[in-house]
Amino acid sequence: GNSTSTVSGHKVHDFQSNGTFEITAGAGEVEVLIVGGGGSEGGAGSGCHAGGGGGGGGVVNRFLTLGVGKYAVVIGAGGLWRNNGGNSSAFGLVALGGGAGGPTLTGNGNNGGSGGGSSRHTNSNQGGNATQPSSDAGGLGNNGGGTGPTNTNPGGGGGAGGAGTNGNGGGIGGAGKQFTQFGVNTYFGAGGNGNTSGGSQGQTQGSNHGAGNTGAGAGGSSGGGTRYYGGSGRVMIRYAV
């Protein structure tokens, strides 16, 4: 891996960029965590209305039996403005990138590992659907929140641990998920808030980039000025030593 550590009698390989996991002898069981890149927010390049928060990257956590060989590890990039995050993959399993937040003024959130939140202004806008749970690899992902419905506030992006709330619910991104057996307390795959603050489980606050190597969606932001991107993904592998 890009780095290694020993945690509670297990060797942990941590890939924060593309690489190769190699087994030179023997065979055995490994636990793998694969996190896709987070989606961007959907605000406009000008004006005042905010786009939706980005959806968190999908999360796959599986046990596998592996033998001798070299295994490619791919880390998905965070989504650039109004784009989904990139897919992460290892051992034939794919964690899908999070959906971008809906574009101002009348945009639905994109579908993705977790769905993006919808944009401000039109209260019929819908959050994107989570595509990770029904994918070949299965895994974690939830829908983004919709606009309103009785106000015009944007929705939060979905997260691995829960759906994004709608505008009436504050537009908070969905919670991420922790996997502390890998020796980190990070919340992975959290959604971005829809131009607001709140949430304590990895959610990206409004007008912020998703944290790198967490798969977090970007926080929604009003039009004009800086645009915000999703956080890159990650792959972690652990086995008993």
Q: Which pLDDT does position 64 carry in this prediction?
A: 97
Which tokens go with 65? 């039996």
Q: Which pLDDT does position 1 carry in this prediction?
A: 62
Q: What confidence tens digit (pLDDT) does each residue in 34-93 have?
A: 999 999 999 887 767 778 899 999 999 999 999 999 999 999 999 999 999 999 999 999
> Is 94 in a helix, a strand, or coil?
strand
Helix (H) or strand (E) holding 88: strand 88-90
- Give the residue carrying structure tokens 């419905």: 149
Provide CB contacts within 8 A for 9, sequence distance 6+: 240, 241
Task: Please list the rounded mean pLDDT of every run of 10 residues in the chain (241 residues).
Answer: 91 97 94 98 79 94 97 98 97 98 90 96 92 98 94 94 95 98 98 94 97 97 89 98 93
Q: Which pLDDT does position 141 carry in this prediction?
A: 98
**Rounded to whole angstroms, how far apart are CA atoms 174 and 172?**
7
Provide CB contacts within 8 A for 183, sequence distance 6+: 5, 7, 8, 12
Phi/psi for 112 (5° steps) reads 180, -170
For the chain, the maximum distance between any two Cα atoms, rounded to a whole number of angstroms, is 61
Q: Which pLDDT does position 44 carry in this prediction?
A: 84
pTM here is: 0.97
| CA torsion through residues 164, 204, 84, 141, sign | negative
Q: Which pLDDT does position 139 carry in this prediction?
A: 98
Q: Which pLDDT does position 4 carry in this prediction?
A: 96
Q: Which pLDDT does position 209 carry in this prediction?
A: 98
Pair 153, 171: CB distance under 8 Å: yes
| CA torsion through residues 116, 208, 96, 135, sign | negative
Q: Which pLDDT does position 45 carry in this prediction?
A: 78
